[in-house]
Structure 1
């Protein structure tokens, strides 16, 4: 089954303009941009036939080509990464059986998250899209709660049914947790990992669906699937001792660099 990874990247982020080109310093002092580190993470995923960066910005295009990435130029009208992936899929001459959206702000995404995501979608014929979820330990959950108390939007959380169909995604911490947990404790909260695997027909249809009130309020693209009555499969993944975080705000840069140092990522 052929697999395409698309890394959507835009310069004009409302929370962090220029984010894809922000340099991150690894454990050896090597500086690489966020988009380059995300591209290198995508290249570590097994079973992938092609990796492309999709952008509407010449600065990102030039930087990506400089480090060897294939780039697909998309329009500035894309409202989110899923729409940008749909444009990229349409622009490419080849057809793929699964398209993965590996967002360009998560360079610490382990390769097995994506591999298990693709396997989960392959095994669930009734789902047009799948996304990973990671059970929070106490340290991660406490970090989410601290971010919200300080007025920052940190990670996204997910709740899902017994058959792993998503019920909701939110930038608030759901379900409600009245207490802090020990750092190494398991919690009932699942961190939504910002990666998606789509079947091509679901991805092609996405831009034609209306933007609903929940997507507008939360600013979460995956809610368009739920508001349009489409099933989203949540695939639970395990960290295997690996730290994971997205770069959402400028304050996340030292957090990611500390994680890279701890994991000895160059």
Structure 2
């Protein structure tokens, strides 16, 4: 099955304008933009046939082409990354069996997250979309709770059924737990990793659906699939000692740089 990875990137982020071009310093002092680090992460995934950056901004296009990425220009009307991926896939002429959306704000996404995601969708014929979830330990859960207490969104959480079909995604920390967990102790909360694998038919249908109330309230694009009766598969992945965080706010920059230094990521 052929696999296309699309990295959607827009300059006009509501919470963090210009985010794709923010420079992150690696372990060796090398400064690379967020979009370049995300592209490098995508290129490290096994079993991928093609990697492209999809954007509507010439500043991002020029930066991406400068470090060697293939770029597909999309319209400014795309409401989210999934719509941008749908437009980019169509512009490329389709033909791929699985389309992966590796969002450009998660440069620390390990390659095995994406590889597990693709395998999960291949093995689940009833699912239209798959996305990874990572069980939070006490340290990650406390970081999510601290962000919410400060009025920030530090990440998205997911709850799912016994068959791994998603029940809900939220920017709140769900499910509620009154228990306090030690730093390395596993919790019942799952951090949603912002990567998606779609079947092309479901991806192509997505832009034609109206934005539902849950998507509008949460600002989470994957809820549109659920609000239209499409099954979203949650694929549990393991950190394998690797730290993971997304760049959602300016305050996340030093956090990601510290993680890269610790893991020796140049």
Bin for the TM-score computed over the shorter chain: over 0.9
Counterpart of 1:200 in structure 2 is: 200
**Is 1:95 equivalent to 2:105 in the alignment?**
no
Aligned CA distance change for structure 1 residues 103 and 167 (closer, same or farther; 3 Å): same
Residue 210 of structure 1 and its aligned partner are, at CA, apart by 1.1
What secondary structure, in the 3-state scheme, does the structure 2 residue paired with 1:190 have?
strand
Partner of 1:137: 137
1:21-100 maps to which residues of 2 (within 5 A)? 21-100=21-100
State TM-score, norm by structure 1. 0.99
Gaps of 5+ in 2: none
1:153 and 1:47 map into 2 onto residues whose CA distance is 33
Unaligned 5+ runs, structure 1: none
Distance in 2, matches of 1:236 and 1:179, equals 22
- How far 1:94 sits from its partner (Å)? 4.7
Structure 1, residues 128-160: CA drift from partner, whole Å, max 9, x if none?
A: 100000000000000000001111111000000
**Inter-partner Cα distance in structure 2 for 1:240 and 1:66:** 33
Task: Name the CA distance, whole Å, in 1 between partners of 2:231 and 2:260.
Answer: 35
The match for 2:185 is 185
When normalised by structure 2's length, the TM-score is: 0.99
Is residue 115 from structure 1 mapped to residue 119 from structure 2 by the alignment? no
Corresponding residue number in structure 2 for 1:167: 167
**What is the SS of the residue equivalent to 2:153?**
coil
For residues 260 and 96 of structure 1, what CA distance do their matches in structure 2 show?
A: 33
Superposition deviation, residue 167 in structure 1:
0.1
